[in-house]
Amino acid sequence: MDNLDYFDDNIEYHSDDKDLEEKLRQYKNLIKTKSKEELFFDSEDIEDLVYYCIDNENFFDAYDLVNLWVKTSSFSSEAWQMKGYILMRMECYTEAIKCLNKSLALNPNDIDSLLYKASALENISKSKRALQILEKILSLEPDNEEALFRKALLLGYRKIYNQAINIFKYLLKSELYYKNATVELACCYHYTKKYKLAIHYYQKAIDLEPYNDELWYNKAIVHSILGQKYLALDCLDMAITIKKDNLEAIYLKSKILRKLGKIKEAINCCEEGLITNPKNINLLYAIADLYVEIREYITAIDYYTLIISYNPNHYPSFFGRGICYDIIENRYLALDDYNSALRLNKKSPKIWQAKADLLYDMCRITEAIQCYEKALKYHPNNVSCLVDYGVALFENGQLKKAEKVFLQVILLSKKNIKAHLYLAKIYTMFGHIDISQKHILAAILIAPSYKSVYLYDYFETAIIYQSKSTMEKLNYIVKLIFQ
């Protein structure tokens, strides 16, 4: 909710004159046609017109008129207060604070001026100073509900949730603030991960405002966090019923349906959202990903292409389309898309790794190694990337570097079979049979049912690189393994 929404009811209007609109027209003409020196006006009329303009949210005319007011009543705290308020509504917060300071210099304990100043400070991210002003108000009026509510909001903003919760609970008995306090309590419990209490207060808020789609959506988020997917879907259906183009609710609903394995329903959900927002990138991207999940790669490519036509800088779509081309073995188009994605996002380890894998499959091993190194620069402990990098080094004959990489893999993932197998090969090639044995045995212990496969692969290397006496030793080890 806008910081200023809570103040509108506090403005007192001075006149019920039915002719105020006509007077406003006359004064506007005077302001345009007369010089400041020639301008004559009735000060009471000006005050009434200022409040009339504020009441009708006509802040530009209100600003012209309030300037006349402060010109003739420069010692009026009310005139400076209204100018400050109008500037706030025009989002000129720094200038508003200057005017409110002048008002407070004339009337230091004016509650409204203090409240406006606190709000203006909050809007320029000076929440600590705003809190100090609210504390001053509460020292003058300990039960001032507006100050209490604003203080609680600021405490929540500063993540001082326990204090905020205590104030919001106190305000539940307020006739004016109990609805807002109920919503804010739900949010505080949501942010502090007290999800059952969050659901309780969201439901209370919904009981007070059953057609508020945001409340239904927020409650759905909490249900989803708790794994209560069907309750979340019920809430999202309500949110979407209330507001057909609630894209956040549509998107979350599609994600939950996807987790439930209801891919077609998830696609239908997103497509319904596209009826009112046909160019929504998030929904189009979600549909493309869903088609990838059900292996309809050509359809996914069509959606990624559509997204790129709307937003040529959407690198995830280049990446997604590249993956699809890669899967259907259209490798050169895949490479083009990976390169396009990397031009837009040079620091994505996933894209660098995908490009490296593709180059490896294309037997461009040296280029693949360079890409793996780029990927690892941005994600040094990515085990799958380290393994692929190690394999590429091995294939490229860089055995010492490959050894170092596979040892790093085992430090990160002790039961990584591929690392153990390649280390067994490397140490066999180095002639370090005892160390080699340890790694082949480790691989067999991790997955004993595959020991024949591992040993066959291992012995292929041993036959090439080892002498007859070494092979006899290896044969002896095999007998022990199969006993």
Q: Please tell me the predicted confidence (pLDDT) of residue 465.
A: 52
pLDDT digits (tens, 9 = 90+) for 318-361: 999 999 999 999 999 999 999 999 999 999 999 999 999 999 99
Is the pTM higher than 0.85? The answer reads no
Q: Please tell me the predicted confidence (pLDDT) of residue 6.
A: 45
Q: Please tell me the predicted confidence (pLDDT) of residue 74.
A: 85
Q: Give the chain's domains with CATH numbers.
A: 1-142 (1.25.40.10)
Cα distances (Å, whole numbers) of residue 178 to 167, 215, 216, 279, 415: 11, 15, 18, 40, 57
Ranges of residues in the chain whose predicted pLDDT is under 70: 1-18, 22-23, 25-42, 449-483
Q: Please tell me the predicted confidence (pLDDT) of residue 39.
A: 55
Cβ distance 223 to 254 under 8 Å? no
DSSP 10: G
- Rounded Cα distance between 256 and 269, Å, is 11
DSSP 483: -
Q: Please tell me the predicted confidence (pLDDT) of residue 27.
A: 67
Q: Which residue has the tokens 């190194």?
A: 373
Cβ distance 176 to 145 under 8 Å? yes
